[in-house]
Structure 1
Amino acid sequence: MTVCPAAFPLRAEEFDFTPVRRLMQEGVDENVFPGASIAVIYRGNTIFHEAFGTIGCGLSPKPAYTSTVYDIASLTKAVATTATIMQLVERDSLNLDHPAARYVPQFGRNGKNGITIRQLLNHTSGLRPHAWYIKTCSTPQELIAAICNDTLLTKPGTATAYSDNGFIILGTIVEQITGRSLEENFRARFSTPLGMQSTSFNPSGEMLRRIAPTGRDSTWNTKIGPRPLVNDQNAAILGGAAGHAGLFSSTGDLIRFTLMLMNDGKQDGVRYFRESSIRQFTRRNGNDERALGWDLRSLEGYASTGSCFSKDSWGHLGFTGTSLWIDPRKDLAVIMLSNRVCPSSENRKIRKFRPRLHTTVAECLGFSCRKE
């Protein structure tokens, strides 16, 4: 049973985050990740924001800071792609139940003509999760064509299977509807007005000095050209900006984005979403495993949130070792950015670490959590 704490004064010094600091240092010492940046938002206030470890995994790496920029991997799906689609639904009359092939006609091949935008968002499209397109594709056009020519694994709407390919198509739909790239849409709609100066696809200039490295790509086809910085190889083929991956960010920037979501879609007097839109995209329908573009806390078995986050919690994970989780019941959010894939993605210790982190944060705030 979760017990809400009393109304503590919301000053960081009122909470003892020593257990979180100890756990994060353990993560560094046990090689869960070279380093990480953590932010905790509670009742509208950022009450913890610290960095641990280093940004690299070689000799004499630099320390990690809260300003360190990380490849946030699949958080791109929620922060960029889903957020943009939310605005298109609100402002441009995009219908989630329209077939995706209405906007990308070639996607309707091989039985995919009935797949809706909603099914792409909640991963019930029946598309395959992922493919190593480096073996057959050398241009963005070839990769998109490969997905459009693919067959289904399951009948749409009958099973949930997380799919990068579905979000690659969603990114393409955004471009078709707006006439602008996903990168341009995100910059105009969110990163610029929110002041997210350390968030972008294909980072350049001063940001490059603050980026935490990820894994090494030994299979990149040099005939394609210079490899974009993004860790995800398919996103690299797509030019570094795609609907499923490619965004780089810092915890400081994601704090601003998350506060906006927790404040019913408003930040600094600017409205980005209606409150009803946030509810529509993040609520659980029955026993659904996923919301629209957002993950939901698992009701059974393993949950990356740990046991203390409520069943109404929503968020997303990123392959590189990133996560963002919001518990609306507790008015609590935890952002974690790391580069656990440096030097190798074979390091999967983050799976056991994530629940411990979220549970430890909740306990530091006075919540009573069931032991894992």
Structure 2
Amino acid sequence: MRLRPVAAALAATAALTLGGGLMTATPASADPYDDPHLGFAPAATVLEDSTPRRAGLDPKTIADAVAAVHAAEEAPAGGHPLFAGAVGLMGHEGKVVERDASGWALRWADPTTELPRDQWEPVRTDTVFDLASVSKLFTSIAVVQLVQEGAVSLDAPVATYLPEFAANGKQDVTVRQLLTHTSGFVSWLPLWSAYPDKAARIKAVMDQPLDNPPGTTYLYSDLNLITLGVMVERLRGAPLDVVVHDRITAPLGMDDTGYNPTDPGRTAATEYQASPPRGMVRGEVHDENAWSLGGVAGHAGVFSTADDLAVMAQALLNGGAYEGHRILTRQSVTSLITNFNGRFPDDAHGLGFELDQRWYMDALAGPRTAGHTGYTGTSVVIDFASRSFAILLTNRVHPSRDWGSVNEPRRQWAHGLAAAMPLRAQVGRTAWYAGGRNAEASTLTTTAVAAPTRGALLEFDLFLDTETTDPLYLERSTDGGTTWMPVSFQIRDRGVTSTHDGVIAGSGVRRWVHVRADVPEGAAQLRWRHVTDATSLGRGVAVDGIRVTARGSGAVLLDAERRPATLTTVGWEPLGAKP
């Protein structure tokens, strides 16, 4: 992969000597998380090495994410680590702000036996990983290239291009349905064990009937992408690995990316497999079906490095181009990150790319956040709203697929980058923030407010980006905080008003909105209570400009901006103002 030299940039931000003392240059100011980009990055953007501070990011949250990955490589007493080794890479606004390699590319001889210590091989930043299902992104891009050339129509039946695919009632399945996993296909078939050779295995996919009518169900299926890989080969007149090389990786300079790596010693080992009897798998695709197809398949088989994937991510953020080489039009990239699965709200999907999936994207998740995971322990998250990406490559199946999930480290890696982006107060010097930690209840409580006979009006600005199970409650108490009742409120957002019965969660729009609520007559405390569960996080919740005025007279009853001592905080932290 290619990174722009940054000697000049580093020199510009180096420490300066003044009067015999040391003065550090002021770091850059990153675009706030709450001011999302709507378009692509400039097509000329080329990745440069930097640091979080130089990019205007909070280095602590990124360091916390690095520490979390390292901790996952340590075995608890009587147990085993989540994975042997990892490479993590974060990019923001064209800057690589973190690149970390840790652990071991090879550590075990089999699931019960460690190799002698002197035979352990460390992970390096250029270690090549089996991407598993992240490979589906390359197949999807190859399909979309055919679409933009006019050789394929998304809404045409797949059988238009692969007549044999029409077998057993599949004549109406479209290309788009394969890309969005709404074809009706079963998830998986044991191609490697049930069929004798590659031709028979491909025929089995072509002959497989549907489990559901096309377009009626979302069901993630390897068969969708296997079929698309065959379609690409048929239309291009070349093997899929050649197509991906010639039309994607070579133009982007992704020299370490491809199928069937020629230098197995650079790869991270995956699983010890007894069935099929492959032993310790290294330098060959882990997925048995892809292996049985010669290592080249539409659903799995690609190997890559974190730096190569960073180039692909930046090319997409740039609207399909990198260093003057365009692999997709801007319109095609838009189609990759447009949700075509509105009927299945928890399974947002562009063309091959998963969208807005908090279970691994965490606080980077949003309607314009695209990515994928791989069974071997890999994940790519590309956030177009912040022009950022978080890549985590692990060999979590080394030496056994049964040792656990890496979803928590995936979330922590994405969260570290999202939380590093600034979130700024909107009114005055201070706002209040909560939601940066799992399994926590945070309260922000006012002193008692005496509303007159006609009642009062509560107003404040709200930023909300949480998972749907991490609610924010607005409540009032008339007995000094012993009991609390919900307070209904209205949100006004760019001319649209919505009403909520004292609770809200979700969002993902990454902007501040204005909130109004009626306060009944009498003395009462008000509080904002935010509760996070034990898993995923969003960017969190912030409130600002809290103000209560009397109905009719407009007299100010509480102004937390001018008098912050009227607030009591538990778990809420102050946010600084915009620079």
Match of 1:311 in 2: 367
Match of 2:97 in 1: 47
- Matched residue of 1:304: which SS? helix
- Matched residue of 2:402: which SS? coil
Please state which structure has a larger fraction of its residues in strand: 2
**Per-residue deviation, residues 173-192 of structure 1 (Å, max 9, x unmatched):** 00110100110101101222
Q: Contact 2:241 / 2:259 at 8 angstroms: preserved in 1?
A: yes
1:70 aligns with 2:129: yes
1:81 aligns with 2:136: no
Match of 2:332 in 1: 277
- 1:90, distance to aligned residue in structure 2 (A): 1.2
- 1:337, distance to aligned residue in structure 2 (A): 0.8
Q: Map 1:68-147 to 2 at 5 A.
A: 68-78=127-137, 80-147=138-205
Name the CA distance, whole Å, in 1 between partners of 2:206 and 2:52: 54
**Per-residue deviation, residues 320-355 of structure 1 (Å, max 9, x unmatched):** 000111111111110111110001111223123222
Please state which structure has a larger fraction of its residues in helix: 1
Match of 1:4 in 2: 33
**Per-residue deviation, residues 273-303 of structure 1 (Å, max 9, x unmatched):** 11111111211243352211011123xxx62
Q: Contact 1:201 / 1:240 at 8 angstroms: preserved in 2?
A: yes
Change (3 A) 1:370 1:19: closer
Match of 1:29 in 2: 74
Name the CA distance, whole Å, in 1 between partners of 2:401 and 2:166: 34
Residue number among 229, 241, 260 corresponding to 2:284 in the alignment:
229
Name the CA distance, whole Å, in 2 between partners of 1:39 and 1:94: 35
Residue number among 20, 28, 46 corresponding to 2:65 in the alignment:
20
- 1:356, distance to aligned residue in structure 2 (A): 2.1
- Matched residue of 2:252: which SS? coil
Change (3 A) 1:262 1:132: same
Q: TM-score, normalised by structure 1?
A: 0.91
1:57 aligns with 2:145: no
* CA RMSD across the alignment: 2.4
Match of 1:330 in 2: 386
Residue number among 298, 303, 322 corresponding to 1:248 in the alignment:
303
Q: TM-score, normalised by structure 2?
A: 0.59
Change (3 A) 1:4 1:307: closer
Change (3 A) 1:311 1:173: same
AA aligned to 1:254 is L
Change (3 A) 1:308 1:334: closer
Name the CA distance, whole Å, in 2 between partners of 1:280 and 1:125: 18
AA aligned to 2:369 is S
**Bigger Rg, which one:** 2
Q: Map 1:344-363 to 2 at 5 A.
A: 344-363=400-419
AA aligned to 2:297 is A
User: Which structure exhibits the higher relative contact order, with contacts defined as CA atoms closer than 8 Å and separated by 6 or more residues?
Assistant: 1
- 1:5, distance to aligned residue in structure 2 (A): 7.1
- Matched residue of 1:55: which SS? strand
Q: Contact 1:134 / 1:221 at 8 angstroms: preserved in 2?
A: no
Name the CA distance, whole Å, in 2 between partners of 1:227 and 1:144: 25
Name the CA distance, whole Å, in 2 between partners of 1:68 and 1:227: 12
Q: Contact 1:307 / 1:370 at 8 angstroms: preserved in 2?
A: no
Name the CA distance, whole Å, in 2 between partners of 1:327 and 1:93: 29
Match of 1:189 in 2: 247
Match of 1:149 in 2: 207
| Aligned length in residues | 361
Q: Contact 2:106 / 2:121 at 8 angstroms: preserved in 1?
A: yes
Residue number among 211, 217, 220 corresponding to 2:273 in the alignment:
217
Name the CA distance, whole Å, in 1 between partners of 2:306 and 2:355: 21
- 1:6, distance to aligned residue in structure 2 (A): 9.3
- The structure 1 segments of at least 4 consecutive aligned residues displaced by more than 2 Å after TM superposition are 3-7, 285-289, 307-312, 364-372
Q: Contact 2:69 / 2:409 at 8 angstroms: preserved in 1?
A: no
AA aligned to 2:132 is A
AA aligned to 1:77 is K
Match of 2:320 in 1: 265
Flag structure 2 segments of 5+ consecutive residues without an equivalent.
Answer: 1-31, 37-48, 76-80, 109-114, 424-432, 438-536, 538-579
- 1:308, distance to aligned residue in structure 2 (A): 4.4
AA aligned to 1:27 is A
Q: Contact 1:37 / 1:337 at 8 angstroms: preserved in 2?
A: yes
